[in-house]
Structure 1
């Protein structure tokens, strides 16, 4: 049986994706290449301005406070956990395969289209903060897939795991495997994945990475099923749909207080 042919799209600074997930993909598929997004300072500032316009200045301060709190109180422990997790991935799958890499700042650059047409993947796994244009996500034979950190359609866009925890919808904390379409996490859904998270001890960042780590075998099988035409899309008719954004410190503190009370 022919191996599924894949391409990974990820950000330059995310070793979990660029090294760990690349090795995982090479373990069950023919990893044909990696598109590495190295964003410019201007692109990062533009994302900040969009969030500011979306939230307004006062709520945006809540976002900035969360980022500062995370950096001072949580980031060091998460970095240690990430290093251990990456080492475990290397131990299980080896080092990433040596495959062609394309470095771009824009996920929709014409070079990306050329790269995908040259390497002819069945699917691309997109781990990108940038929305993909139709002329990019439709090039792979079976489309482009997202391992979205959140249960869709209720928790679309950014940080779905955080917001499900903050909203106390603990049965909505997980990962959605979906095919990209022209909307924001609105494409066909091919599965939900979760794990027995510890909300009183784990950060939201750790939860959204662990939900990937704990389900690699099942996700790999679902990708094979999609390419083989054996996977059916989930019917989400009648369910509410919501778009979310960056975490707020006020909601983080309220979530953690509720988690401690629940654990007593």
Structure 2
């Protein structure tokens, strides 16, 4: 089979994806384009309102406290790690490839749809927080896939690694290669990938990025198997399924306290 054509969807603010994963994809597929999402202020406000409706004012304060703590205490070290990880990917896979790129606010708008249709991808890798509608999902010949930060179906939504750590469910800290359907991380699972966790010294953000970084070779092999038709999804029908929300500061501090007790 010929090398599969791919499109990467990522956020403008995430160089790990926009530069590093783009170089990785180009190393074993024909990267046909990159869709860069630059959300508007209105979209960010709408996400805040959805979370507020979901958890209520009291728990939302816990979410906001976590964001503030992350910005004031964790962000500097996380950025330092991200710079090193990006450089390691560039050293291994080369610089960011020069491919057609479009910047949009919504992955489901007409410009994004037209761009992906013209790229004619076999596989789309979606590294975005936005849910794709059926019209976008259906543009890839083989399918759209996410490298989900968490083990599905137990830890669905965007912060699965955090909640597995907070729940002390350490066997479920990792990443899932999942084919997108119309639900929230409910599609066929094509791989579960683990990560060696340094709970005491690493933030949940670093751990969930490492769940991707440390498994790139295995994911590349799996994607090629999917492209040539030899891969089959994992049967997860008998397993529990749960959707988790934004990280809470109270649960973060409880997690770190438990990690210190386990590794004094």
Matches within 5 A, 1:17-36: 17-36=17-36
Is 1:101 equivalent to 2:101 in the alignment?
Answer: yes
User: For residue 129 of structure 2, what is the aligned residue in structure 1?
Assistant: 129
Tell me the CA shift for residue 97 of structure 1. 0.8
Q: Deviations over 1:82-122 (max 9, x none)?
A: 01111111111111110000111011011222112111111
Count of equivalent residues:
264
Q: Deviations over 1:197-238 (max 9, x none)?
A: 111111000001011110110001101111111111010111
User: For residue 55 of structure 1, what is the aligned residue in structure 2?
Assistant: 55
Q: Deviations over 1:110-139 (max 9, x none)?
A: 122211211111100000100000110111
Say which SS state the counterpart of residue 147 (structure 1) adopts.
Answer: strand
Say which SS state the counterpart of residue 253 (structure 2) adopts.
Answer: helix
User: For residue 154 of structure 2, what is the aligned residue in structure 1?
Assistant: 154
In structure 2, how many angstroms separate the alpha carbons of the residues matched to 1:53 and 1:204? 25
Say which SS state the counterpart of residue 141 (structure 1) adopts.
Answer: coil
Tell me the CA shift for residue 158 of structure 1. 2.1
- TM-score by structure 1 length? 0.99
User: For residue 112 of structure 1, what is the aligned residue in structure 2?
Assistant: 112
Is 1:207 equivalent to 2:207 in the alignment?
Answer: yes
Query: What is the root-mean-square deviation in Å for CA atoms of aligned residues?
Result: 0.7
Tell me the CA shift for residue 33 of structure 1. 0.2
User: For residue 227 of structure 1, what is the aligned residue in structure 2?
Assistant: 227
Segments ≥4 residues shifted beyond 2 Å: none
Tell me the CA shift for residue 263 of structure 1. 1.3
In structure 2, how many angstroms separate the alpha carbons of the residues matched to 1:18 and 1:237? 34
Say which SS state the counterpart of residue 262 (structure 2) adopts.
Answer: helix
Tell me the CA shift for residue 195 of structure 1. 1.8
In structure 2, how many angstroms separate the alpha carbons of the residues matched to 1:217 and 1:227? 16
In structure 1, how many angstroms separate the alpha carbons of the residues matched to 2:161 and 2:210? 11
User: For residue 244 of structure 1, what is the aligned residue in structure 2?
Assistant: 244
Matches within 5 A, 1:85-100: 85-100=85-100
- TM-score by structure 2 length? 0.99
Say which SS state the counterpart of residue 182 (structure 1) adopts.
Answer: coil
In structure 2, how many angstroms separate the alpha carbons of the residues matched to 1:237 and 1:9? 29
In structure 2, how many angstroms separate the alpha carbons of the residues matched to 1:211 and 1:157? 15
User: For residue 15 of structure 2, what is the aligned residue in structure 1?
Assistant: 15
Say which SS state the counterpart of residue 10 (structure 2) adopts.
Answer: strand
User: For residue 188 of structure 1, what is the aligned residue in structure 2?
Assistant: 188
